[in-house]
Each structure stands twice: as C-alpha cells, then as structure tokens.
Structure 1
Amino acid sequence: MPELPEVETIRRTLETLVAGKTIERVTVSLARIIQRPDDCDLFAAMLAGQTIRSVERRGKFLRLMLDDLVLVSHLRMEGRYGVYASSEPVEKHTHVIFHLGDGTELRYKDVRQFGTMHLFPRGEDLAELPLRKLGLEPLGPDFTLAAFSREAAGKSTKVKPFLLNQEYVAGLGNIYADEALYEARIHPERTTDSLSKREMAALHEAIVKTLREAVEAGGSSIKSYVNGQGEMGMFQQRLEAYGRKGEPCRRCGEPIRKIVLGGRGTHYCPRCQPERKQAGNR
C-alpha cells in the first residue's frame, strides 16, 4: 500500500499535471470504487464542469480540490493515477476516467480494486469519514514532540502497531514504521508506556527524518508503485531494516530479523534495537 511518501509524491506529480484543468465528463466502469455518492451517474454529473484547483494530501489520502467540491481518493493496495492523451489505448483495470478539457485524461487504474473515492462539498471532507478520525500529520506543523507524546501517553500498546494506527499518526505504514524504529533504535515490541522521554524524542525525530528523506527520494517502489508520470521511487535503495531479513545491519553487522507483529511483517536489528530499555535511557 502506498504510504505517506508515495502519496505525497503522487500529489506533487498530479499538481503539476492536472491543476487548472477542467473535468468535462467522467467515465466509471467499476461502481464499488465510488463510495460517496453511492450513485456513479450522480458522481459523474457532480464533477462535470468542475476545475481541479489544486491537489492536496491528508495522511495516505489524496484530496483533489475542485471549484465547489473535494474528491477524496484512497489508493489502497495498488491504486494508480496517470495522465494520458485521449487517443492512447485504455489499459486493463482502468476503472475511472476523468476526461479533461485539454484533451487529456486522468485515469485511475487499480488491479486489486480496493481503492475508494468520496465526493464532498468544499469544507466538509475533513469533518466526515474517512478523514475525520485521522491523527497527527507527521510532516505538518502540529506534529510536535509534545503532541506525539500526548498520543502515546498511558497506552500499553506495542509501539509498532501504535505507529500503524492512523488515528494516532496519519500516513505511516509498514515500511516507514520499521525504518523509523530502526533509526530510533527502539524494538518494535516495546510498549509505548515503556518508552523514556529520550526515546520518545528520538522516535519523533526519526519519523520526521525518515519521511522527509523518503519524500525527497520519490518514495519506495517495493511492488507496483509509480508516481503519476510512471516513474519509480528510489528510497528502497536506502532502506535499513524493511525487507532486509537475514542481511547484515549496516550499523553493527548483526543479521536483520523478521517477525510478525499485529499481523504485519516487521523487520529490526536485535542488537541495535534491544527488547528492553537500556540502563540510563530515561
């Protein structure tokens, strides 16, 4: 599933490719992707004549800001946007096509068919599901150490599932949770209430650092991810823990281990990320 860096890269690409263009009509070939309204014809009618003013992001969701509406789109496992000339053949698994006024088409392709689209009047999307319950935006100004610490306070949740819970921190997924915990030298099975103030500060800093570097690299192309121009991300070449089971830790040489935690494959270094809080780390 694309995580914050991949979605942010797609956002930036689409901002360049479609901002300022007007939607003339919309073709929907897979009804279940359209969640709101639950009528594809109404969805298409509402979008006709709307101009895409900007493309924004909240967590892992794209927000296409239109004249009077906001289109909230979640890519789920393998959703993908691309801009094509209308003369180009439509690829298999293309489920929604936004026909634009300049003769190009914004096409949504989704092999797994898990993606969703919600349409809201301007100003209502952040107060309604699916965005209403999202937690702190880790690259936003509100993601302070104090705010992050308040979210974790009093919770006995293991830290890896805590980071994956979108109601606490929005946008983090399996890849970047593993990478941030490695950077902060925190074992993924530690509980949030066991973390010292110093460890919380290290984790907060690691989340921001990891995500910013991943965005700069265009995200990680682990499976099928590409940006809106069909380009791969490059951060996978810099991963320290995720996907490196059995390979030597680049800090200490110990083989990276993989466990299943909360149903998710989890990678860590057993030497750099000890199971217990080390003496003197308060």
Structure 2
Amino acid sequence: MPELPEVEETVRLVRNTALGKSIQSVETVEDTIVFAGITHEDFAKEITGRKVVNVGRYGKVFYIELDGVGRMPVLHLGMTGAIQVKGFPPILYKEGKRKASTEWPPKFMKFILHLSGETDVEAQLAFLDPRRLGRIRLCASPMTEPPISILGFDPILTMPSLDEFKPMVTKRRCPIKALLLDQTFSAGIGNWVADEVLYHARIHPEQRCDTLMADQLSELHMQIQHVCKTAVGAHADDSKFPSEWLFKHRWGKGKREKHTLKLPSGEPATIKWITVGGRTSAYVTELQKLGSSINKEDLQEDEEHADSDLTPLSDEATIITTTGSKRKTQSSNSGARRSKRRARPS
C-alpha cells in the first residue's frame, strides 16, 4: 500500500501537473466501489470547468482544492492505486508487481482529468486502481470532514510533542506495530514505515505499548519523524534510501537470495517475519528483542481484543461517507462505462 512518502510524492506530481490549470473535461469509468458516496457521472459534472488552486495531503489521503462553487476531490490510493500523467509512467509502490508503463489511457483507470492553462497546452492526469481498494470522494471541506477529520497525527504535518506522545502510546495494551498501523493514531504510517521505525528504535513489533520504557518512547518519537522525513526528502525513491535501512533488505522473504544487512558489529543480521496487526512484519532478531516480561499468550489475546482500539488497516471492509457513517461495500458486476463531459463555453 502506498504510504506517507509515496502519497507525498503523488501530491507533488499532481501539484506540478495541475496547479493553476482548469479542468476542461473529465473521463470516468463506472465503479460503484471506488467512487464512494457519489456516481462517476456526478463526480465529473461537479468538478468540470473549475480551476485547481491547491493540492494537499494528510496521512495517506490527498485532496485537490478547486475554485468556484462545489465540492472537491478527496482521494485514497488503497493498496494498488496510483496517479499517472500522460506520457509518463505512474508512481508505483515497491511491493507492486505491475511494471510501469506509459500506455494511455492506462489500464484500470477510474478517471482522467483533461487540464489546460494559459498556454493552451493540455495535460492529462489519471487515477488508476487495479484492485479497487482506493476511494474517490467529494468533500466541501476536506480537512474537516471524514476521512481526514477522523485521522490521528500526521508525522510530517502535526507530530505531537514527546510529552504528548508518551501517554498516547502507554495507555494502549496492543502491540506497538498494531498501534502504528492504526490510522486514527498515526495517519500515513503503513507496513514498511512502521517496520523501519521500529528497527531504528530497536523495538520488537510485538512489544506491548504499555510496557515501553521512557527511553524507548523517546527513540520511537524521534524515529517516526526521521524515517518519514528522510523518505519524503528522497522523493519516495527507494534507490536513494540509506543503505543501512531495513527497507533495502526486507523483501527477501521466501526467496533464495540472501540479504546483506549488517549489524553494528559488522556481523550478518538475522531478519525474521511475523504477523502483527494483521500484517507481515520484518524485524532484526539481534536488535529488536521482545521484553522478557511479555507473555506470548497474553500478547495474542490483547491483539485479538484490540479491535475497538484499532481502525481497519484498509478501506476494504467499509466506506466512510462524508457524514461519518459507515456502510459495507459490495462488488460491482456492472460493465465499465465511460462518460466524458465538456466544460460549457463561458
């Protein structure tokens, strides 16, 4: 799933492509799951003819501010969603099996914005989503309505102070990895970012939140900011991530080739994988040790009963509407249908 760094880079792409341009027309494909709380036709109708005045992000959600009367697009990439500009490959997540392509219109596209500015040079920007776990919404006030309004702190935009952060963690009894994945706690942290943070903080992913010591909490607070800022500074390009990062070595589960991660002593590190918070977690056994006072059976029971403490890790099960209510999604068997709306002449 694209996480905070990948979404920040997506926002940069949308901003560079669309800012100051007008939406001349919108192509859409019917999808009653990805388009949440609105039809694809109404989505196109409401944004056509308006100018892009800003592009923002909070957590893994980003939004496009438009001038004029009407709501604004609020977008979530889900597990495999991406933004693509015509003539360029999309930004793909590391774990994705798809190969970047400049094919146009792109496969699995949900909408294409036809944009033009003062130079009359048209740009086209598409939202695509193969697994249909992303969400396309319209909101009148993106920052004060769900889904953004129910998210926790953003490590780049609204990181709490250490004094505020400590009780936010220690009042929980779930595993720390599960808490980091909870978007109502920390918006934007996903699987690889959480593992990277815990690796640098030297904390086992199963360590229970209420057992963390003061020095561990301080290190955790620092590493959340460090990992996110470093990845964003590298434009989410993993080839530019530091060579000592776990990210560079974590993808070898079940593969024959050996990783090359070293311990501070220079000895080979041992990477193991476990499931925590419903996700596969990579950790280094020599550096991330589970506290001896933790009972594995108690830990498993705490995680099983942490549902009220944790939000779903994806939008697969529910759609959060602009009123804050939730409804179950249903698979759509309808055929794909395109519509194209042209802006009315002024």
Normalised by the shorter chain, which TM-score bucket?
0.7 to 0.9
- 2:159 and 2:199 mapped to 1: Cα distance? 24
Task: State how 1:221-240 maps to structure 2 within 5 Å.
Answer: 234-235=240-241, 239-240=245-246
Letter in 2 for 1:70: M
CA offset digits 1:33-68 (Å, max 9, x no partner): 2213x2222211110111111111010011111114
Secondary structure in structure 1 of the residue aligned to 2:246: coil
- 2:292 and 2:18 mapped to 1: Cα distance? 49
Higher relative contact order (CA 8 A, sep 6+): 2
Residue 277 (structure 1) shift: 7.0
Q: CA 1:115–1:156 in 2, change beyond 3 Å: closer, same or farther?
A: same
Q: CA 1:149–1:103 in 2, change beyond 3 Å: closer, same or farther?
A: same
What is the match of residue 80 of structure 2?
78
Letter in 2 for 1:168: F
- 1:46 and 1:196 mapped to 2: Cα distance? 52
Equivalent residue in structure 2 for 1:107, among 107, 126, 141: 126
1:247 is aligned to 2:247: no
Secondary structure in structure 1 of the residue aligned to 2:251: coil
- 2:158 and 2:276 mapped to 1: Cα distance? 30
Letter in 1 for 2:80: E
- The answer on whether the counterparts of 1:244 and 1:267 sit within 8 Å (CA) in structure 2 is no
Runs of 4+ in 1 over 3 A off after TM superposition: 233-239, 244-249
Give aligned-pair identity as a percent. 31
- The answer on whether the counterparts of 2:27 and 2:112 sit within 8 Å (CA) in structure 1 is yes
Residue 236 (structure 1) shift: 8.5
Residue 218 (structure 1) shift: 2.0
Secondary structure in structure 2 of the residue aligned to 1:56: strand
1:147 is aligned to 2:159: no
Please give the TM-score of this superposition, normalised by the length of structure 2: 0.70
Residue 220 (structure 1) shift: 5.2
CA offset digits 1:174-197 (Å, max 9, x no partner): 001000000000111111111111
Residue 263 (structure 1) shift: 2.0
Equivalent residue in structure 1 for 2:145, among 116, 124, 128: 128
Equivalent residue in structure 2 for 1:137, among 145, 150, 154: 154
Q: CA 1:261–1:193 in 2, change beyond 3 Å: closer, same or farther?
A: same
Structure 1 portions without partners, runs of 5+: 222-232
- 2:164 and 2:25 mapped to 1: Cα distance? 43
CA offset digits 1:224-258 (Å, max 9, x no partner): xxxxxxxxx64396532633556364225331111
Secondary structure in structure 2 of the residue aligned to 1:177: helix
Equivalent residue in structure 2 for 1:119, among 138, 153, 160: 138
Structure of greater Rg: 2
Cα RMSD of the aligned pairs, angstroms, is: 2.2
1:182 is aligned to 2:199: yes
- The answer on whether the counterparts of 1:55 and 1:63 sit within 8 Å (CA) in structure 2 is yes
- The answer on whether the counterparts of 1:184 and 1:203 sit within 8 Å (CA) in structure 2 is yes
Residue 7 (structure 1) shift: 0.4
1:201 is aligned to 2:201: no
Residue 112 (structure 1) shift: 1.5
Residue 79 (structure 1) shift: 1.0
CA offset digits 1:87-138 (Å, max 9, x no partner): x8412222211111242211112221221111112xx223322212100111
Secondary structure in structure 2 of the residue aligned to 1:111: coil
Letter in 1 for 2:35: I
- The answer on whether the counterparts of 1:73 and 1:115 sit within 8 Å (CA) in structure 2 is yes
- The answer on whether the counterparts of 2:30 and 2:39 sit within 8 Å (CA) in structure 1 is no
Structure 2 portions without partners, runs of 5+: 88-102, 294-346
- 1:82 and 1:236 mapped to 2: Cα distance? 27
Letter in 1 for 2:75: S
What is the match of residue 228 of structure 1?
none
